[in-house]
Chains A and B, each alone.
Chain A
Amino acid sequence: MSDYNPFSLVGKTILVTGASSGIGQATAVECSRLGAKLVVTGRNEERLVETLSRLDGDGHVSIAAELTDAEALKRLVDNCPSLDGLVLCAGRGMTLPFLFSSIDKFKTVFDVNFNSTVECFRMLAKAKKLGRGSSVVIIDSTGGTPNGRFSPGNCIYGASKAALWSIMKFAALELAPKGIRVNTVNPAMVETPLIKSVNITDEQKDLDRKRYPLGRYGRPEEVAYGIIYLLSDAAAWVTGQSLILDGGVTI
């Protein structure tokens, strides 16, 4: 019984977007350690190669693509093998008070966080790259979503994450007959390059860390473990759900 592991990813092929840094990179690494074959994508070829070099095992591939570019996205979908898992990590941050959140700022963030994420998912599903029993995990956030946290200056980012939360519900419902599960993980603050775009002082971040009952922000691999649960057969009966990973801050 030593090989008993319902959380294993052996035999699964998993595409991770935004795999060149942060949560995406940690997810690719941890998935490979649990036996998955990875397809990693991101904008920056050099950093993707760096991710690729950190993966355990053989047979992984990287496909550089700017997902907001329709042709690049089509190339990615065309070149993608059949998938058992899809992890949508590509995203960006922006801190602006509501009164400064003009429509062009919304467009900048929504293009990356929402439009290209949803289009990548839709095109892969339409091209039948996501088979029966496959699992889609969208990286959402506690910022701006139900039961989450609403902090000043986070309205554009939060609204883009709320939109992803909504899409997750619709897609879970409509893709269930095809045997495709769709869930989100909703992390609070995680120590990644993205939180450097949150324009507050280090002192304010230290104060914020103390508001977390578990005393600190998350680590990228701790989000990856939640994603792995949703990708694995252990979560075969879980769809349309959000897994909040937050050190207790939304209690």
Chain B
Amino acid sequence: MEINEFIDNLAAQFDETSADQLKPETEFRKLDEWSSLIALSIIAMADEEYGVTLKGDDIKGATTVQDLFDVVNAKKA
């Protein structure tokens, strides 16, 4: 699993944030667009794209895009 591919999938859940604005170090919750609906969409995307079941707490426990990638990657293994 490549982080660039993950970032593309992540960006697809946003409307006003493009993939090039999302870096591994980006603190996603600080983005203007961040909402509970986007959190739910990321959970659904992880299931659809990676077969990974994320909990609300997994999102809560992550600060950066890299953190999210790591938790999906760990659950995928």
Residues of A at the B interface (CB closer than 8 Å) are: 95-97, 99-100, 152-153, 199-204
Asked if A199 and B55 make an inter-chain contact with CB atoms under 8 angstroms apart, the answer reads yes
Among candidates B37, B45, B55, residue contacting A152 with C-beta atoms closer than 8 Å? B37
Asked if B57 and A152 make an inter-chain contact with CB atoms under 8 angstroms apart, the answer reads no
Residues of B at the A interface (CB closer than 8 Å) are: 35-37, 40-41, 43-45, 47-48, 55-57, 59-60
Q: A201-B60, A203-B60 are in contact. Are A99 and B43 (CB under 8 A)?
A: no
Among candidates A96, A100, A152, A201, residue contacting B56 with C-beta atoms closer than 8 Å? A201
* A200 to B35 alpha-carbon distance, docked (Å): 13
Asked if A100 and B36 make an inter-chain contact with CB atoms under 8 angstroms apart, the answer reads no
Asked if B41 and A100 make an inter-chain contact with CB atoms under 8 angstroms apart, the answer reads yes
Asked if A153 and B60 make an inter-chain contact with CB atoms under 8 angstroms apart, the answer reads no
Asked if A96 and B40 make an inter-chain contact with CB atoms under 8 angstroms apart, the answer reads yes
Asked if B41 and A99 make an inter-chain contact with CB atoms under 8 angstroms apart, the answer reads yes
Complex contacts, B57 vs chain A, CB 8 Å: 201-202
Among candidates B36, B45, B47, B48, residue contacting A200 with C-beta atoms closer than 8 Å? B36
Complex contacts, B37 vs chain A, CB 8 Å: 97, 152-153
A151: nearest chain-B partner, CB-CB: B36
Complex contacts, A96 vs chain B, CB 8 Å: 40, 44
CB distance from B69 to the nearest CB of A (A): 20
Asked if B40 and A153 make an inter-chain contact with CB atoms under 8 angstroms apart, the answer reads yes
Asked if B44 and A97 make an inter-chain contact with CB atoms under 8 angstroms apart, the answer reads yes
Asked if B60 and A100 make an inter-chain contact with CB atoms under 8 angstroms apart, the answer reads no
Among candidates B35, B36, B47, residue contacting A204 with C-beta atoms closer than 8 Å? B36
* A178 to B41 alpha-carbon distance, docked (Å): 47
Closest 5 CB pairs of A and B: A100-B44, A201-B56, A152-B37, A153-B40, A200-B56
